A and B are shown apart, each in its own frame.
Chain A
Amino acid sequence: MSDQSSHSRGTAPDPVIAARGLTRRYGATAVVDAIDFDIARGEVFGLLGPNGAGKTTTILMMLGLTEISSGEVNVLGFNPAREPLKVKRRVGYLPDAVGFYDQLTATENLAYTAKLMGLARAERARLIEAALSRVGLADVASKRVATFSRGMRQRLGLAEIIMKRAEIAILDEPTSGLDPQATLEFLGLIEELKAEGVTVLLSSHMLDQVQRICDRVALFKAGRIVLMGAVPELAVKVLGAGFVVEVEAEGPGIARRLAMIPGVTQVETLAADRFRMTAERDVRPDAARAVVAGDGALRRLSVDEPSLEAIYARYFQTEATGDVRHAA
């Protein structure tokens, strides 16, 4: 792997999912090619990458829904290829573009899966009701799913995971095709899950959302994990520095003062009163202090958080020019 630091992070406390050399081949082509990763309990882990990069296949292997060609994966201490029922009893899965039985109501759909999960009759009704109200579908519980919008179906899928009281929630492209409002609500629900201590595995190509809620991400490309770690770490590695701060201020010698702040690698002068600093950390407080100390008038101080989008774009760009490992 290209990524030592995230690796050391990954093997850290209490991994709930551990993959070693996990591979899935169709004929001669490896769709997932010897990937290793560890996911710690309670974290939100993002699987990123273009379509066909192997994200869904990886997920299906973790659930024992597709064969593992070689390598192994361990989910909550079980081998999904041999003990799929134990894994599937503890892991909730929301597939890409989840479907429900249109002729049944929301409650009936959940009741069917609740029975398949083997939930006792007595707690079924209570759990279904609680799950539906958690995701805000309580008032349409007895409506047929045929009338549901895409966002409501996704939330119903999440209700199923909540009802299951899953230790791990695996969400495959949960927000694709949702409108911004529905997306925000859905991300809120995922954060609630995290707050309850559920480990969330999220695959997506909506980079800004992933960045907002994921503790760590793994970037897939052609069946391999090419980058893995927390977003700021990746930013340092790929972009060279994590933070870009823009300062708008008037006063003498500001550019020089800004350049003297520890951690700043570069200061560009965009206009007479506008400067862009590149830094390894968030240097806004230091920048403000520097401007004020130099008797300058500070008008605006903004930071571009290290964006996953930039990392993603930069990574694939440098990759194209054949300069990967030394991008940092």
Chain B
Amino acid sequence: MRREGSPFQGLSTVFVKELADHISSIRMLMLEFLVVVTAMAALYEAISTLRQNTAEDPFLLLRLFTIDRAPLPSFVAILGFLIPLMAIGLGFDAVNGEHNRRTLSRILAQPIYRDALLMGKFLAALATIGISLAALWLLVIGLGLIFLGVPPGGEEIARSLVFLIVAIFYAGVWLSLAMLLSIVFRSAATAALVSLGIWLFLTVLWPMLAPAVAQAIAPADPRYALLGLNDPATAVWTQELLRLSPNDLFGEAMLAVLSPTTRTLGPVFLDQLRGAVMGAPLPFGESIMIAWPQTVGLVAGTIILFAFSYVLFQRQEVRA
């Protein structure tokens, strides 16, 4: 018993309408303003630092993304913090907003499936974030050209493009989460508060809690403590727990891609580093390999959360 017709009928219509709504909305304007201003501040600091110690660095452009000078965090760290905010801002009232405006049953009475509505909304919000991030990315490269005066190499562009793509999937995780909550909670305010709560927990509290939880699961062996070393078991647990947070995954992936000298993201034994030329950059492909699991984690998170939303939305009652 298959249903007739394509689930994607009307998808492009919903997509275009939602995209237009997002791009012209005051909410998006405010979010973009916030992101651009803080990102520019970080960039300004990075540029002024870079100009002082002139470059033997072959990856000058990438340093723009990663250099931090107190009190400001790096450009990437700021984005890691603000992208979730943008995604939540675009997703928290996606479905319950239609309910509350009482437009949902009218739209669903048109010859489309619910799939098209949900997918269209998701893709439109993701495209909005993608457009903003791409603009920001161009801005960074442009500013780098103007102030540093060094044309970026092909590998730098490739690495920064990977940054852009991973950042969009990172936004996708938060967008799926926000949309899931917009289906679960009928009130947009509740959905927004819960998403922001989860965001704060994962970005601020989880990094503090994870080591404590790791200590409880794998207490440090006192012999390591006597030698003044960390117990590798505890360190591994800490890292695994931290990786439950998409922020950490994004941070690690960016570290691998944007700092070409990164050889590993986890704790290593000294003998594993035998023969390594410390400080030498890895080739592009190798860096991608290091960032691959984290990237896949973000993509999987996006898909799983979206699948949950999809199932819930299909089963939800239309009536207000």
Taking Cβ atoms with an 8 Å cutoff, the residues of A that contact B are 56-57, 60, 63, 65-66, 82-86, 88-89, 91-103, 112-113, 115-118, 157, 160
Docked CA distance A96–B102 (Å):
9
| A interface majority secondary structure | mixed
Contacts of A84 on B, CB cut-off 8 Å?
3, 111, 113
A116-B10 in contact given A83-B3, A93-B109, A101-B101 (Cβ < 8 Å)? yes
Contacts of A82 on B, CB cut-off 8 Å?
1, 3-4
Docked CA distance A160–B13 (Å):
17
Taking Cβ atoms with an 8 Å cutoff, the residues of B that contact A are 1, 3-5, 9-10, 13-14, 17, 21, 101-103, 105-113, 317-320
Q: A91-B109, A93-B106, A99-B101 are in contact. List 6 more A-B contacts (CB 8 A).
A: A60-B318, A65-B109, A84-B113, A95-B102, A97-B320, A117-B111
Contacts of A89 on B, CB cut-off 8 Å?
111
Contacts of A115 on B, CB cut-off 8 Å?
10, 13
Q: Are B109 and A98 in contact (CB under 8 A)?
A: no
9 tightest A-B CB contacts, nearest first: A99-B102, A93-B109, A116-B110, A85-B5, A89-B111, A115-B13, A95-B105, A99-B101, A88-B111
Q: From residue A119, how far is it (CB to closest CB) to chain B in Å?
A: 11
Q: Are B106 and A95 in contact (CB under 8 A)?
A: yes
Which of these, B9, B103, B319, contacts A85 with CB under 8 Å? B9
Which of these, B14, B21, B109, contacts A103 with CB under 8 Å? B21
Contacts of B110 on A, CB cut-off 8 Å?
88, 113, 116-117
Q: Are A113 and B106 in contact (CB under 8 A)?
A: yes
Contacts of A93 on B, CB cut-off 8 Å?
105-106, 109
Contacts of B319 on A, CB cut-off 8 Å?
56-57, 60, 66
Q: List 17 A-B contacts (CB under 8 A).
A: A60-B319, A82-B1, A83-B4, A84-B3, A84-B113, A85-B4, A88-B110, A88-B111, A91-B109, A96-B320, A98-B102, A98-B106, A100-B101, A100-B103, A100-B106, A102-B101, A115-B13
Q: From residue A282, how far is it (CB to closest CB) to chain B in Å?
A: 41
Shortest Cβ distance from B3 into A: residue: A82
Contacts of B3 on A, CB cut-off 8 Å?
82-84
A86-B108 in contact given A97-B102, A116-B13 (Cβ < 8 Å)? no
Docked CA distance A101–B106 (Å):
11
Which of these, A65, A97, A116, contacts B111 with CB under 8 Å? A116
| B interface majority secondary structure | loop
Shortest Cβ distance from A97 into B: residue: B102
A99-B103 in contact given A82-B4, A115-B13 (Cβ < 8 Å)? yes
Contacts of B5 on A, CB cut-off 8 Å?
83, 85-86
Docked CA distance A56–B105 (Å):
11
Q: From residue A261, how far is it (CB to closest CB) to chain B in Å?
A: 51
Contacts of B4 on A, CB cut-off 8 Å?
82-83, 85-86
Docked CA distance A83–B113 (Å):
11
A95-B13 in contact given A66-B318, A100-B103 (Cβ < 8 Å)? no
Kindly name the residue among A85, A93, A112 whose own CB sees the greatest number of chain B CB atoms within 10 A: A85
Q: Are A88 and B109 in contact (CB under 8 A)?
A: yes
Docked CA distance A32–B9 (Å):
31
Contacts of B107 on A, CB cut-off 8 Å?
113, 116
A65-B105 in contact given A82-B3, A85-B5, A112-B13 (Cβ < 8 Å)? yes
Q: From residue B8, how far is it (CB to closest CB) to chain A in Å?
A: 12
Q: From residue B206, how far is it (CB to closest CB) to chain A in Å?
A: 37
Docked CA distance A115–B14 (Å):
9
Q: From residue A72, how far is it (CB to closest CB) to chain B in Å?
A: 13
Docked CA distance A75–B1 (Å):
18
Contacts of B318 on A, CB cut-off 8 Å?
60, 65-66
Q: Are A66 and B317 in contact (CB under 8 A)?
A: yes
A63-B13 in contact given A82-B4, A85-B5 (Cβ < 8 Å)? no
Q: From residue B9, how far is it (CB to closest CB) to chain A in Å?
A: 7
Contacts of B112 on A, CB cut-off 8 Å?
85, 88, 116
Docked CA distance A91–B3 (Å):
18
Contacts of B320 on A, CB cut-off 8 Å?
96-97
Docked CA distance A109–B103 (Å):
10
Q: Are A85 and B317 in contact (CB under 8 A)?
A: no
Shortest Cβ distance from A103 into B: residue: B21
Contacts of B106 on A, CB cut-off 8 Å?
93-95, 98-100, 113, 157, 160
Docked CA distance A115–B108 (Å):
13
Docked CA distance A92–B102 (Å):
16
Q: From residue B108, how far is it (CB to closest CB) to chain A in Å?
A: 6
Q: From residue A29, how far is it (CB to closest CB) to chain B in Å?
A: 14
Q: From residue B226, how far is it (CB to closest CB) to chain A in Å?
A: 63
Docked CA distance A272–B202 (Å):
88
Q: From residue A173, how far is it (CB to closest CB) to chain B in Å?
A: 12
Contacts of B10 on A, CB cut-off 8 Å?
115-116, 118
Contacts of A60 on B, CB cut-off 8 Å?
105, 318-319
Shortest Cβ distance from A98 into B: residue: B106
Q: Are A112 and B17 in contact (CB under 8 A)?
A: yes
Kindly name the residue among B4, B17, B111, B112 whose own CB sees the greatest number of chain A CB atoms within 10 A: B111
Contacts of A57 on B, CB cut-off 8 Å?
319
Which of these, B1, B21, B109, B113, contacts A95 with CB under 8 Å? B109
Docked CA distance A83–B111 (Å):
10
Shortest Cβ distance from A93 into B: residue: B109
Shortest Cβ distance from A56 into B: residue: B319
Q: From residue A302, how far is it (CB to closest CB) to chain B in Å?
A: 43
Contacts of A88 on B, CB cut-off 8 Å?
109-112
Contacts of B21 on A, CB cut-off 8 Å?
101, 103
Contacts of A99 on B, CB cut-off 8 Å?
101-103, 106
Contacts of B105 on A, CB cut-off 8 Å?
60, 65, 93, 95
Docked CA distance A118–B8 (Å):
13
